[in-house]
Amino acid sequence: MSNSKTNASGQLRTYLSNHLREYGLLFALIAIMAFFQIMTGGILLRPVNITNLFLQNSYIIIMALGMLLIIVTGNIDLSVGSVMGFVGAFAAVLIVSHGLSVAAALPICLIMGALIGAAQGYWVAYWKIPSFIVTLAGMLVFRGLSLWLLEGQSIGPFPKSFQSLSTGFIPDVFGINRPNGTALAAGVITVCLIVWMGMRARARDKSYGIIGEPQALFIIRNIIIAGALLFITYKLSTFRGLPNVLITMAILTVVYAFITENTVLGRRIYALGGNEKASKLSGIKTEKMTFLAFVNMGVLAALAGLIFAARLNTATPKAGLSVELDVIAAVFIGGASMSGGSGKIIGAVVGAFIMGVMNNGMSILGIGIDYQQIIKGLVLLAAVFFDVYNKSKQG
């Protein structure tokens, strides 16, 4: 009896040490949130601040999804901040200056993003010019272009329908309003879905004799995630409900997680990053994959630009300045490897939240921008060091 118990705890320990990265990230986020919750005297997790957290970080998270794919292919995109600013400016010129309807302007802006991604991806994929150089050029070009488009001025305000991209909320279909019934229902449904899918995957693993996560860990992890989700949706419901942008973000995250983990396309992108030559000799069109990753990044950067402009309700020449660094940092904190082939969508999202919570928490505490940058830099270095150290210990 006691023997089997020690055996189980030993199993638990080996499993934890093999998956330290994934759990570490989750616990790091929780620890950071707890830290700021205490330090700010409870301000961090107030409904209005949670809502703000999502609004403030949405565009970073959306771009982190695309950046993860770029980094998995073994590339980097330094231009996303500029592209985001440029598309915001482009939208302002279309809608505010030329009076185009929002419904027409949105697809045009997204197509513009795709074209920008294609223009950069073309050089990287088909001419093998290092992405660092191509996108460094892109960073300058699109920063310049947005200055030129805006003639150095800010353009705004946008119509209400455009602003709702970012600042709108999902109405309460149940008519309760406080707490918001839709938000509560969405929270409960999501939790049920996550637990159900987790159990299904476990059952499947078991039928194949795969020894996965120990039962205890599975239960603890699910309780934490479910608790956190319910807590957050409850808090949101007592304010104004679910922000539109949260829904956009959540859907995109689920879609990209599915693509990367379960589809042929995703598998090929990871294979390409793991070993480009071997992938090519396995019949994978590696150039096309790289090209598509950049097109995708362009579209997501455009979407981020629209959301950002909608939130500020104006397009400014400074929009998106050095945002690329936050996005790239989020992906690396999330566990992606610079050499390509590894990294997870969920990691990038959690990485972005870690950065976001730190930004938000330090701002509430009134820590100067100087110290904020130093601390963020050190956290990035520590996260990557943790990765490298872990690998060297295993290897």
Residues that bind other proteins (CB under 8 A): 204, 208, 210, 262-265, 267-268, 270-271, 274-275, 277-285, 341-342
Q: Residue type for 150, please?
A: L
Q: Which is nearer to other proteins, 55 or 217 (CB)?
A: 217
| Min CB(342)–other proteins separation in Å | 7
First CA to last CA across the chain, in angstroms? 34
- Choose between 167 and 275: whose C-beta lies nearer to other proteins: 275
Helix axes 102-127, 80-92, angle to 10 degrees: 150
Judged by beta carbon, residue 270 or residue 294, the one nearer other proteins is 270
Looking at residue 159, the DSSP 8-state letter turns out to be P
Residue 201 Cβ vs other proteins, minimum distance, rounded to whole Å: 9
Helices 215-237, 20-39: crossing angle, 10 deg rounding: 40
Q: How far is the CB of 267 from other proteins (least distance, A)?
A: 6
Phi, psi of 155, rounded to the nearest 5 degrees: -120, 130
Number of other CB atoms surrounding residue 306 within 10 Å: 27
Minimum distance, C-beta of residue 129 to other proteins, in the bound complex (Å): 18
Q: CB nearer to other proteins: give 5 or 277.
A: 277
Question: Smallest gap, in angstroms, from Cβ of residue 113 to other proteins?
Answer: 24
Query: Taking Cα atoms as reference points, which of 74, 18, 122 lies closest to residue 270?
Result: 74
Residue with smaller CB distance to other proteins, 65 or 284: 284
Cβ-proximal residues to 295 (8 Å cutoff; 6+ apart), any chain: 114, 117, 118, 121
Smallest distance, other proteins to C-beta of residue 18, A: 12
Q: State in angstroms the smallest separation of the CB of 345 from other proteins.
A: 16
- Report in angstroms how near the CB of residue 124 gets to other proteins at its nearest: 20
| Residue 183 contacts residue 237 (beta carbons within 8 Å) | yes
d(CA 306, CA 312): 10
Nearer Cβ to other proteins (244/337):
337
Residue number, 162 or 270, with CB nearest to other proteins: 270
Give the largest Cα separation in the chain, rounded: 77
Residue with smaller CB distance to other proteins, 2 or 392: 392
Element (H, E) at 216: helix 215-237
Residues 6+ apart with CB under 8 A from 241: 169, 170, 171, 172, 180, 182, 183
β-partners of residue 315 are 155
For 148, the token pair is 């030129």
